[in-house]
């Protein structure tokens, strides 16, 4: 469990080589594309009939209509445990507060007198939000997907989430309650690749969407990849992961708990400790067995912590530790060191950074106000987590008057002829007569 990689006493390799040395789950999306492609094609050709058959085969639920009735949404909210509803309301309020500050404003730049470019920010018209429901019904993902879409001004929002046999073929009651609380009325009891196909092609009551967001398993990811272009996507989500950068001041009880909490998601979840302290590493390893034994999902956690995607990396100093976590580019990165904020400000690559002993990843999963839909698999090197910006498109509005065009016409002419595109030059020249 949690094998060690000792990088002390030698010069660290380059970023790419270092990234290849670090623990990470292998997710072979291509390996399932041959399974997913026929599902997508079946839904494209046969629509709701295909969805019904696929759902019966994979989820054990045979329903003539996969649209969730409004009455079921209303009942889920009405019967929601008051403490759960209060927790959802608080999470929504915090996520709204943070994401409201992400709204973009139109900006007009005067390039020259009489010539301006305005950047307008317009929301995607219709989005499909996927909420997983396999090993765990992620009702918090409803909040994380819906709130930024609403703040962006998306006018049409649909949610798809797997049906549950133990809930009469409806999705998880908590997921439905979260949808109802946020005013989402279009919810579909369909999961997996077939849900992405429903969003992409339309089926039953669901009209096609312009964009799909939300995490999912490898089949969902493969479907998003295959339909990308027909629809926009947020990312190709892989197994969840946490890295903890810690020194000898970190509490091993906290560190062990945080590694375990992430491993709880999935047997493929990654949990990596990067530390300057061998004593801390030993103490964390000593903590793990008892903490795992006290949890509900011990077998799942043990598999994740014992997998090749998890481990402990020993480094000489924090500079080396920062190089390692930047190469790893974790979905979630915790900093548990002296002067944690100063260290965190030096991090370049992470989906989200959790600073100090009182900001565990679990807080961000639910109620920090940040978004928990984050880049995985090293994609934090180039991609951001879900935000209001995900649902917005920048469109340039170009306005030049006759004098402003005339003033730049000679430069357009030169550049157009340099590219051997004389008709481009003529389109300007014809206006100068």
Selected catalytic residue, list 236, 241, 331, 334: 331
| 130 labelled ligand-binding | yes
Q: Which pair of tokens denotes residue 238?
A: 């892989």
Alpha helices in 294-401 (DSSP H): 298-306, 318-328, 340-344, 361-366
Selected catalytic residue, list 254, 332, 334, 372: 332
| 166 labelled ligand-binding | no
- Alpha carbon of residue 377 to chain centroid: 11
Q: In a 3-state reduction of DSSP, which class is residue 143?
A: helix
**Bridge partners of 398?**
117
DSSP states of 72-119: HHHHHHHTS-HHHHHHHHHHHHHHHHHHHTT----EEEEEETTEEEEE
In 3D, which of 194, 193, 157 has the Cα closest to residue 178?
157
| 265 labelled ligand-binding | yes
Question: First CA to last CA across the chain, in angstroms?
Answer: 78
| 201 labelled ligand-binding | no
| 194 labelled ligand-binding | yes
Asked if 417 is an active-site residue, the reply is no
Q: In a 3-state reduction of DSSP, which class is residue 120?
A: strand
| 276 labelled ligand-binding | no
**Bridge partners of 336?**
246
**DSSP letter (8 states) at residue 180:** H
| 105 labelled ligand-binding | no
Q: Which pair of tokens denotes residue 226?
A: 């295959």
- Taking a C-beta distance cutoff of 8 angstroms, is the pair 247, 318 a contact? yes
Q: How far is the C-alpha of 14 from the C-alpha of 327, rounded, in Å? A: 9
- Taking a C-beta distance cutoff of 8 angstroms, is the pair 286, 275 a contact? no
| 262 labelled ligand-binding | yes
| 365 labelled ligand-binding | yes
**Torsions phi, psi of 283, nearest 5?**
-65, -40
| 99 labelled ligand-binding | no
Q: How far is the C-alpha of 29 from the C-alpha of 221, rounded, in Å? A: 7
**DSSP letter (8 states) at residue 171:** P
* Burial class (CB within 10 angstroms; exposed 0-12, middle 13-18, buried 19+) of 47: middle
Annotated binding-site members: 130, 194, 217, 240, 262, 265, 332, 365, 419, 424
Catalytic site positions: 331-332
Provide the annotated binding site for Zn(2+). Answer: 262, 265, 365, 424
Residues annotated within a binding site for NAD(+)? 130, 194, 217
Indicate the annotated binding residues for substrate. 240, 262, 265, 332, 365, 419, 424
């Amino acid at each position: 469990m949690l094998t060690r990689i000792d990088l002390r006493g030698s010069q660290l390799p380059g970023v790419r080589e270092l990234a290849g040395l670090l623990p990470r789950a292998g997710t072979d999306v291509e390996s399932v594309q041959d399974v997913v492609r026929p599902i997508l094609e079946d839904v494209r050709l046969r629509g709701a009939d295909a969805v019904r058959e696929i759902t019966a085969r994979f989820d054990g639920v045979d329903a003539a209509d996969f649209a969730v009735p409004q009455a079921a949404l209303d009942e889920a909210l009405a019967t929601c445990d008051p403490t759960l509803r209060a927790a959802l309301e608080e999470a929504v309020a915090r996520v709204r507060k943070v994401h409201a500050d992400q709204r973009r404003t139109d900006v007009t730049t005067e390039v020259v007198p009489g010539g301006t470019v305005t950047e307008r920010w317009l929301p995607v018209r219709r989005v499909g939000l996927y909420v997983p429901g396999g090993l765990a019904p992620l009702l918090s993902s409803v909040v994380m997907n819906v709130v930024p879409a609403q703040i962006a001004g998306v006018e049409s929002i649909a949610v798809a989430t797997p049906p549950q046999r133990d809930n009469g073929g409806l999705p998880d009651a908590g997921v439905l309650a979260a949808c109802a609380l946020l005013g989402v009325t279009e919810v579909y009891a369909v999961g997996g690749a077939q849900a992405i196909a429903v969003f992409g092609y339309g089926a039953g009551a669901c009209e096609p969407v312009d964009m799909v967001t939300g995490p999912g398993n490898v089949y969902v990811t493969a479907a998003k990849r295959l339909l990308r272009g027909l629809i926009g996507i947020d990312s190709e989500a892989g197994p969840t992961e946490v890295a903890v950068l810690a020194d000898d001041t970190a509490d091993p009880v906290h560190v062990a708990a945080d590694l375990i909490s992430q491993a709880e998601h999935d047997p493929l979840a990654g949990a990596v400790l990067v530390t300057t302290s061998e004593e801390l590493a030993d103490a964390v390893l000593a903590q793990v067995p008892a903490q795992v034994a006290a949890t509900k999902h011990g077998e799942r956690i043990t598999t994740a912590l014992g997998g090749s995607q998890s481990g402990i990396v020993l480094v000489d100093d924090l500079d080396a530790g920062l190089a390692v976590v930047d190469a790893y580019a974790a979905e979630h990165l915790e900093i548990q060191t002296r002067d944690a904020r100063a260290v965190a400000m030096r991090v370049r690559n992470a989906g989200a950074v959790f600073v100090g002993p009182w900001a565990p990843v679990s807080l961000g999963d639910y109620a920090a106000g940040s978004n928990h839909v984050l880049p995985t698999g090293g994609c934090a090197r180039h991609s951001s987590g879900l935000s209001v910006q995900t649902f917005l498109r920048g469109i340039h509005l170009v306005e030049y008057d006759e004098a402003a065009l005339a003033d730049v016409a000679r430069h357009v002419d030169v550049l157009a002829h340099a590219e051997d595109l004389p008709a481009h030059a003529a389109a300007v020249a014809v206006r100068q007569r």
